[in-house]
């Protein structure tokens, strides 16, 4: 399973209103629940915010990777948000976040969860990728650039 297979174009969200970490996570929780019948927005939000309480998922360089397990998640689900304005995410470097990669995985998806998180971190740690994503002018362009970055980062088989 790769990030590319779990991140369809409609889940690469462009110019998302920010405001705060909480609002961004509420926005995503509502969005994903509307598009995934098995998920409840309050449950998703509660799990994402619960994970943030363990330690911020803001990894630095304006990037956050909020993630959580959900018993109602049948397969891993990814979402990407390019925020209209950066928000304070309590990131490790203290910088505000404008690129948010969200992962939801089934309760029992240990290895898959870790492998997907590693893929996301690899993609988002690339300076050129972050710069290119920030220059995206539309949702379609954002998704295309993200998929290109995922393909470049993926190990060749």
Catalytic amino acids?
67
Q: Is 19 helix (H, G, I), strand (E, B) or coil?
A: coil
The CB density around residue 142, as the number of other CB atoms within 10 Å, is 24
Could you tell me if 70 and 39 are in contact, meaning their C-beta atoms sit under 8 angstroms apart? yes
> Cα–Cα distance between 78 and 55 in angstroms, integer?
20
The CA-atom distances, in angstroms, between 135 and each of 16, 56, 142 are 15, 25, 8
Pair 19, 88: CB distance under 8 Å: no
Gap between the Cα atoms of 6 and 85, Å rounded: 26
């Amino acid at each position: 399973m790769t990030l590319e297979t779990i991140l369809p174009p409609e889940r690469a969200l462009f110019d998302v209103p920010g405001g705060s970490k909480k609002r961004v996570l509420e926005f995503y929780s509502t969005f994903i629940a509307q598009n995934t019948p098995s998920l409840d927005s309050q449950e998703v939000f509660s799990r994402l915010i619960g994970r943030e309480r363990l330690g911020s998922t803001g990894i630095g360089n304006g990037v956050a990777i909020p993630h959580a397990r959900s018993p109602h998640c049948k397969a891993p689900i990814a979402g990407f948000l390019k925020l209209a304005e950066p928000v304070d995410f309590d990131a490790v470097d203290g910088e505000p976040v404008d690129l948010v990669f969200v992962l939801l995985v089934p309760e029992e998806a240990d290895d898959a969860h870790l492998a997907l998180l590693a893929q996301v971190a690899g993609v988002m740690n690339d300076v050129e990728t972050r710069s290119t994503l920030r220059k995206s002018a539309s949702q379609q362009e954002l998704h295309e650039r993200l998929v290109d970055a995922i393909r470049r980062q993926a190990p060749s088989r």
